[in-house]
Amino acid sequence: MSGTRIPEATVARLPVYLRALNSMSESGTTTCSSLELATAAGVNSAKLRKDLSHLGSYGTRGVGYDVEYLRYQISREIGLTQDWPVVVVGIGNLGHALANYSGFSSRGFRTVALLDADTARHGDVVAGIEIRGFDELEAVVAEHGVGIGVIATPAVAAQDVADRMVAVGIRSILNFAPTILSLPEGVDVRRVDLSSELQILAYHEQRKSSAPATVAEVVADLGQPVGGVR
C-alpha cells in the first residue's frame, strides 16, 4: 500500500480503473494514455491523473501507463493481492445469487461459509458450500480469520446479525438489507440498496419527461406550423 491515506472518492474509483485495466490487459494492451484509461473508466483524465498520483503513479511522458504495473499497484492498494475470507449470512434468494457469483472469488474474496437461521436450509449445498446454522458464526470466523461479513437477511434481522458479527471480530460489513445499521466506531459498513438506486433513476426519468417543451412542441400544441412563429 502507499501508506498515505487516499480520499474515499478516489478509493471508490479504483475498482473502476482496475476493471478497465483488466479489459485492456485481456485484449493485449500493454500501455495506455491517461485519456484512454479515463475514457474506458468514464471519468475525465485530470481526475484520473489526480487519483493515480495518490498511488504514486504518474505514468511516463509520451508513453503513458504500464497496464500490468498499474493493475498491480491498484490491486495492492485495495487489498486484492491478499485473500479475503468472507462469510455470507441469510441464504435466501439473494444469498444464493451471491454465493453463486464467481466475480468474488476471481477478485480474491473467498466465501468460506454460508449461514442461515432457518434450520430447513441447513445441509443444502450452494456453489459447493453447505449452509450452516447462524450460531456457527463465531467458530467460522475463528477458523478462517474472517474479516468481512455479508448480510443478506431481511431488514428486521440485519441489526442483530451485524451486532453478532462485530461481537465475534468482524470489522467490515457489506449490507444488502434496506436498513441503516448502527455500529461501533472502527467498523466499516457499505450498504447496497438497489431500491434507492432505482428511485434515483426514477427521479431522473421523471425530470426528463417533464423537461421544458421545445419551440416545435409548443407550436404543435397551439396547432400552428413551426414556420408560422415570428
CA distances from 183 to 140, 160, 166 (A): 21, 11, 8
CA distances from 227 to 217, 220, 230 (A): 13, 11, 8
152 lies in the site for ligand NAD, by CB under 6 A: yes
Residue type, 128: G
Interaction mask 77-106, ligand NAD, x per CB under 6 A: ------------xxxxxxx-----------
113 lies in the site for ligand NAD, by CB under 6 A: no
Q: How far is the CB of 156 from ligand NAD (least distance, A)?
A: 8
Q: Identify which range of 41-49, 99-107, 138-146, 175-183 contacts ligand NAD by CB under 6 A.
A: 175-183
CB-CB contact of 189 with 175 (8 Å):
yes
Q: How far is the CB of 169 from ligand NAD (least distance, A)?
A: 18
Q: How far is the CB of 97 from ligand NAD (least distance, A)?
A: 7
CA distances from 220 to 45, 208, 216, 227 (A): 43, 20, 6, 11
Q: How far is the CB of 184 from ligand NAD (least distance, A)?
A: 20
Number of residues that bind ligand NAD (CB under 6 A): 23
Rounded Cα–Cα distance for residues 134 and 67 (Å): 43
**Is 93 annotated as ligand-binding?**
yes
Residue from 99, 114, 116, 126 in contact with ligand NAD (CB under 6 A) = 116
52 lies in the site for ligand NAD, by CB under 6 A: no
133 lies in the site for ligand NAD, by CB under 6 A: no
Q: Are strands 172-175 and 188-191 parallel, antiparallel or unpaired?
A: parallel
Counting Cα atoms < 13 Å in the Cβ hemisphere of 171 gives 5
Measured from the CB atom, the residue of 135 and 143 that comes closer to ligand NAD is 135
**Is 148 annotated as ligand-binding?**
no
**Is 90 annotated as ligand-binding?**
yes
Q: How far is the CB of 183 from ligand NAD (least distance, A)?
A: 16
Binding site for ligand NAD (CB under 6 A): 89-95, 116-118, 121, 134, 152-155, 157, 160-161, 176-178, 194
Residue numbers belonging to the annotated binding site for NAD(+): 90-95
